[in-house]
Amino acid sequence: MRAQSRERAAPTKARLPVVVLACALLAACAGKKRDTQGETDARIVGSATPSDQQEPVPPTTALDPVQVRAAYSALLAGRMDEARRLFAAFGAAQRVLPARLSLVLVVFHVEGGGADAAAPAPASTPAAPAAAASAPVAEDPRPVPAAAAPAKSVTREEVERDLNGASAEPVLAEDAAPVAKAPAAPSPSRQPADERQPIRGLRKRVFEIMARSKRTAAHFHYVDEVDVAAITGLKDRAKPSAEKAGVKLTFLPFLVKAVVAALERHPRLNSVFDDAAMELVLRKTYDIGIATSTEAGLMVPVVRGCDRLSILEIASEIDRVARAARARKSPREDLGGSSFTITSLGRLGGLMAPPLLNYPEVGIMGVHAIKKKPIVRGDQIVIGEVMNLSFSFDHRVIDGDVGAKFAQEIISYLQEPNRLVVEMA
């Protein structure tokens, strides 16, 4: 067994992953003390015997702090032979070390770099007391230092300071271990007929915003359907007045007004999250972003002050900002600074498609196509006009019940549009 252990301990550059494993274990166990360190090492290493467990090393064993720092410098610099030799000298005292250092010793034992690999086993063990002279004494493979140094004990703070790079004897740049870089994303295989289109301009901006939204916010989704028969009737009745005013009236301004009315009742949704300051910024204005598809990519022009606008005024503003966005002529004041966004796929809406948040906003609503389907109205089954709404919220700051109540408030306004007429500006 000892010969196999020495073979496993042969120095090789392949042992460098031991450093990574040791450092990961150190970080995971920061600040924790193992009361049964000796027994745990015996189980993991397989070198301690029952007699070792019955007679633990006294907790007064001291270590030379200079040796500790030298051992860590060798370990981090990848000088494995030197590190094994220095760590082997700590074998007799490892039970009283902080858990972080003891874990390194355990890793070195498992990898074959502990005491067995650093020095031959002692020829014999000290004689047992007279009362136990008849009992066989098991051989302890861990070497004992020739003499305990009278230097001061290594404190937990000293070891942690060394691990964090604040040693009194800094490691030179040429001795530092190289920092592993994250592997590059694999490139797709190339085909002769491939056409490559560079991502730049607006498309690159959309790329960055969507990726940041997905990896930053904790999205949760809520989907429900709404019977739009009542709001359809209101739109049809208002259409002649809109045509006289030169305004094209669609469902979207009614949706905007319903969202604003719900935001007034749920002000936490009319906000943006400041990740750097860890603050939720509640907006006092109601500036609604309208996701607009253009040839260059998705844009989100903003209709500002929607709480102060009528249905017809909102319809006129939506038409203006959408036209400017598609023509790539949006003025600066029409872009950015929204507090909530609505995105509509119109006739392409499908059943549901929960949208990504328009970061740093904490809520967004997706609008889907209106479809005829059987519904229960009162106690009767009738053919109704139904539209699905898909919501996404940032679960870091918006709880599930808050998002659901907000969505139901919007649905209530759409199914009872008289409330909008009474409450709108």
For 147-184, the DSSP string reads S---SPPPPHHHHHHHHTT--SSPPPGGGSPPPPPPPP
Alpha-carbon gap, residue 376 to 383, rounded angstroms: 9
Distances (CA, A) of 156 to 145, 152, 189, 259: 21, 13, 52, 57
Strand-pair partners of 374: 383
Residue 287 is among the residues annotated as catalytic for this protein? no
Q: Which of 219, 221, 266, 395 is catalytic?
A: 395
Residue 399 is among the residues annotated as catalytic for this protein? yes
Alpha-carbon gap, residue 8 to 193, rounded angstroms: 52
Contact 350, 369 (CB under 8 A): yes
Q: What is the 3-state secondary structure (H, E, C) of 81-92?
A: HHHHHHHHCCHH
What region, left, alpha or beta, does residue 165 occupy, with left being phi > 0 and alpha being psi -120 to 50 degrees? left
Short-list 263, 327, 257, 334, CA closest to 303: 334
Q: Which two tokens stand for residue 235?
A: 């739109």
Alpha-carbon gap, residue 42 to 390, rounded angstroms: 58
> Looking at residue 288, what DSSP letter applies?
E
β 288-290/302-303 pair status: antiparallel
For 2-26, the DSSP string reads HHHHHHHT---GGGTHHHHHHHHHH
Q: Which of 81, 236, 275, 399 is catalytic?
A: 399
β 340-344/288-290 pair status: parallel
> Looking at residue 146, what DSSP letter applies?
S
- Number of neighbours of residue 92 by Cβ within 10 angstroms: 17
Alpha-carbon gap, residue 52 to 139, rounded angstroms: 10
- Number of neighbours of residue 39 by Cβ within 10 angstroms: 15
Amino acid at position 280, single letter: L
Short-list 131, 128, 153, CA closest to 61: 153
- Number of neighbours of residue 159 by Cβ within 10 angstroms: 21
* Secondary structure tally for the chain: helices H, strands E: 15, 10
Q: Which residues are catalytic?
A: 395, 399
